[in-house]
Structure formats: C-alpha cells, structure tokens
Amino acid sequence: MTIADRTPPDLARARPRARGDKTPLRLDAIVDEALRIIDTEGTDAVSMRKVAAAFDTGPASLYAHVDNKDDLLRLALRKVLDTMPLPAGETWQAMFRAHAHTIRAVLAAHNDLARLTFGTVPESDQVTEGSERLLAAMIGGGVPPQVAAWSLDVISLYIAADVHEGWLMGRIFDDGSGRPPEEVGMEYFRGFGERMASLPKDRFPTLTGHLEELMGGDGDQRFSFGIDMFIAGMAAQIPPT
Amino acid sequence: MTIADRTPPDLARARPRARGDKTPLRLDAIVDEALRIIDTEGTDAVSMRKVAAAFDTGPASLYAHVDNKDDLLRLALRKVLDTMPLPAGETWQAMFRAHAHTIRAVLAAHNDLARLTFGTVPESDQVTEGSERLLAAMIGGGVPPQVAAWSLDVISLYIAADVHEGWLMGRIFDDGSGRPPEEVGMEYFRGFGERMASLPKDRFPTLTGHLEELMGGDGDQRFSFGIDMFIAGMAAQIPPT
DNA sequence: TTAGTTGACGAACACCGTTCTACTCACGAA
DNA sequence: TTCGTGAGTAGAACGGTGTTCGTCAACTAA
C-alpha cells in the first residue's frame, strides 16, 4: 500500500434497472454485500455467485456494475479506507504511533481485507489526507524528508502484513471443531512451546535459554514493538540541532 | 513466519507404486513440480491438476502423497527454506542486515512463495539454526533479550511482505501485452507521478512539496531503509555501558 | 502363497470467474 | 408522445478449481 491516489468522485457506474418486484441492483449495495461477506467469512469467501445470491440473481448481473471480482474487492477496500480517521498527536512520534495503531484497528475490523492493500495504491482521499498530515508532522519534527517519505510506504506494508498474519493465526484457533478459540489457541501455543523446549540445548543454547522472551507477548505487543523500533530508528536519523 | 520448528526427518509418506511404463510417483518429485510452477508462474498457478499433468496422471493420484494442496505448498516452502544460508557478520547489526537481505533474496527467487510464510511456523532446521545464530549475536551485542526475541518475528514478517508486494508490483509491469516490463513500469510510475503532481497544492502542500522523495527509490532501497530503521531502533534500546 | 493394505486413477461432486446471448426497460431525441 | 437504441438483467455455458469416492491392482507381511 503506497501513497494514496485521489478518490474518483462517483462510485456509481451503471444505472439501476427494474427487476420485477426485486430491488434494482446498485453498485453501492453490491460493494456492501461483498464487505459483509468479508466481515463474516473473510476475503476468500467472496464469490460473485455468493454476492449475487444476496440479490436473488446470478453472477452475470454484477458485471454491469463492476469489471470483475478484483474490481469489486478494490471497491470494498476503498470503502473501508474512506473511514480511516485522520492522524493526531502532540509530537510526530505520538502521531505516528497512534495512527499506526488506528490503521491496524480499522483494517483488522474487516478480517483479512488488509491483504488487498498489498501492491496497490489506495484510492482514498481520506488516506491521502492522513498521509499529508503525518508527513508534515514528521518533517516538521526534524525527520529528514527522505526518511519521512519512505516511512509511509514501509509502515503501511508492515501494518497490512501484521493484520493479515493476525487474521491467519486467528483462523488456526477457529478450527471449526466447535471448541472455544481460546482453548484451541492455548493448545496450539502449548504444543509450539513444547516443540521449542524440545530443541537440543547444546545446538540451540540461545533459543532454548530465552524461551520466555520468544514465546511471550501477544499480537498487540509485538505490533507495538515493531512500530516503536521503527519510530526509534527514524528518530535516530534526526540531525543534532 | 515465526521461530522455526524442527524439520521432520522424513519427507516420504507413501511408497511409490508401479504405473505401467510410467515413472512411479514420489513426493519429492511432486514437490519439485509444484516449486517449478511457482518459479515460472507464481503460487496461484499451482493446481493439483497441473501438477498431476506433469506426471501424466490426474489430481486424485497426488492425495496418496499429500493431504491437500496446502500441504503441498507447505512442503514446497520448506524445501526453499532449507536452502537458506546461515547468518554471518562482524557485528550484530551487520549480521542482521545481511541476513535480512539474504532471506529476501532467497524468497524473491521464487516469485510469491513468500506469502506462504504468513501465519506459519516454518519447519526448517536451517531456519532454526539461523535464528539461533542471529539471536546469539544480538544478545551478545547488548540488545535486550526481549527486543532480540521479538525482532526475529517482526523482521521475518516485514521481509515476507516486502517480497510479496515486490512480486505483485512486478506483475503489474508484466501485463501480458508483450511490451517490455521496463516500458510498462515507466508508464505506470509516470502515471502515478502525474496523479501525485495533480494533487491540489493548497490541500496537500507537504505531499506535493516532496514528490521527489515520495517517488524516489526502488524496491531494494526501500527495503534497505526499512531494515536500517529497524536496526537503528533496536540499537537505541541497548543500555549505556 | 495368501490376505490385507494402500497407491494409482477415473468419475463425479460442488464450487469458481467470466462470457455469451436474449429479453426488455429506461432514457433521450425527434 | 413516440420510437429507437443502449445497456441492465439474467440464464446457460465455458473452462477452470480442490477434493472425495469407489475400484483395481501392486506391494508387503505373515
């Protein structure tokens, strides 16, 4: 996900047409349905047939409104990005940190939607506005412009990856067995911890000697850690006054 | 991609069975074929039918050797991870930086294989060995153990994401039109630059005032930047002696 | 040698994205 | 107001997907 592009002004592309006693199809309703499926079942569960079924029609009807499935997913992503709060904070560090957490929360609220940001330029005025504010704060705070500029891309990539991986890990815990996710999760990590503990101590003395550090921390803590390391690294690039 | 698990000792699970005058199926050959398809067409191009076709049989025949397609992909990933060079360097920083670049290069040599690492624990003795060396170097160099431990996960995630995004961007440039990728790429970035330059200067003064920084740098430079920021951030956690 | 196990494999299932074609509605021009 | 046309709706079909089921026969162990 790199620097935002402008949001095109008009989301409608096809005019709704009567459908007997059914509600005419509208692009925004189609996008909403795609997003609803993402929110309940994840991005892979979105199929043109499933979206169309929600409108009691077949997949072919959607192609008057979207180019293809990727187009539909792109529009779903855009809808979410347009809800992104703007960055705020007293210092560039506080702003950067808070905004990173905000982006993560917004994306994470939509299962693995975040993966749609990989390799794309988000089409959202809101995100562009956020980038402007963040960039201004960093540069105003003394961060070299090149560092500040590249940080926008790098941190966006990191956030999207973190959300995506968090979602995947969550699916491991929701294994469909009907058992509570907490139970599945504890079992998973117990098994993993046992495998780590069973590493040969003579071959892997550092790993086995720091199991607590390696195994400790939840996803939020690890994410915060990564963001804080990055911020500290950027701060170290500020020339002395 | 988190800390490595031990590589199970034996890759074969089914005994090859005669097939008339055809070569009996073997798991390692199946995995090799999957990897070959990844290397030529990317991970999505791997289908059980396509893999099976290489052995002049149908997809059902593969299921004696792998549980399912995900299993096959997991084994392909493992094969690549087992080729990962071990970290080396005079300082923990040099080692960390070099190894990050090495991991990136190994993964990037296989199109979007990197995405298979998201949300998984890699089953590779080689990767475990590498983690041991890197962790020892960092802790030996004064990095707090908790920082060092979490850095392994965070940086692996960042690398995989960078490789994956790099691949996606590469696909944009290989648009199937037969035009040289360099030409397609230049056109893409020219278009993007024009859109950035067309942002309203009064609304986005910082973005428009730093187009050169925002647009500059290739994927390698941006990756290096991210790694170096992270290393600098970690170094800032080392207590004064 | 015999019996049991299981690898190989064809058929089929349920699903997928998309295109093609026909019908008909809605809009714009006269 | 009327008529022509473009395009939204939608069924059928194409070419594809992962996987299961059932059958045959190769292989191994006793």
pLDDT value at position A50?
97
What per-residue string of b and e applies to A178-207 under the rule 16 or more CB within 10 Å gives b? eeeeeebbeeeeeebeeebeebeeeebebb
Residues lining strand C at under 7 Å (Cβ) are: A 15, 17-18, 46-50, 58-60, 63, 68-70; B 14-17, 19-20, 22, 24-25, 55, 57-61, 63-65
Q: Alpha-carbon dihedral of residues A124, A126, A129, A133, nearest 10 degrees?
A: -130
**pLDDT reading at B186 higher than 90:** no
- pLDDT tens-place string over residues B79-119: 999 999 999 999 999 999 999 999 999 999 999 999 999 99
Q: Which nucleotide is nearest to B71 (CA to C1')?
A: D18
In this prediction, residue B2 has a pLDDT band, given cuts at 50, 70 and 90, of very low
Query: Which residue of B119, B131, B228 is in closest CB contact with A207?
Result: B131
Q: In strand D, which positions have an atom below 7 A from any protein CB?
A: 7-13, 16-22, 26-28
Q: What per-residue confidence (pLDDT) applies to B232?
A: 98
Characterize B195-232 residue by residue with b for buried, 16 or more Cβ atoms within 10 angstroms of its Cβ, and e for exposed.
ebeebeeeebebbbebeebbeebeeeebbbbbbbbbbb
Distance from CA of B117 to the nearest CA of A (A): 9
A177 pLDDT band, cuts 50/70/90, is low
Residues in chain A within 8 Å Cβ distance of B228: 233
Q: Which nucleotides of C are covered by protein (CB under 7 A)?
A: 6-12, 15-21, 25-27
Grade residue A208 by pLDDT with cuts at 50, 70 and 90. very high
Which protein residue has its CA closest to C1' of C26? A17
Q: Tell me how close the Cα of B80 comes to any Cα of chain A, in angstroms.
A: 20
Question: Residue B165 and residue A3: Cβ atoms within 8 Å?
Answer: no
The answer on pLDDT for A123 being more than 50 is yes
Ramachandran sector of residue A121 (left: φ over 0; alpha: ψ -120 to 50; beta: rest): beta
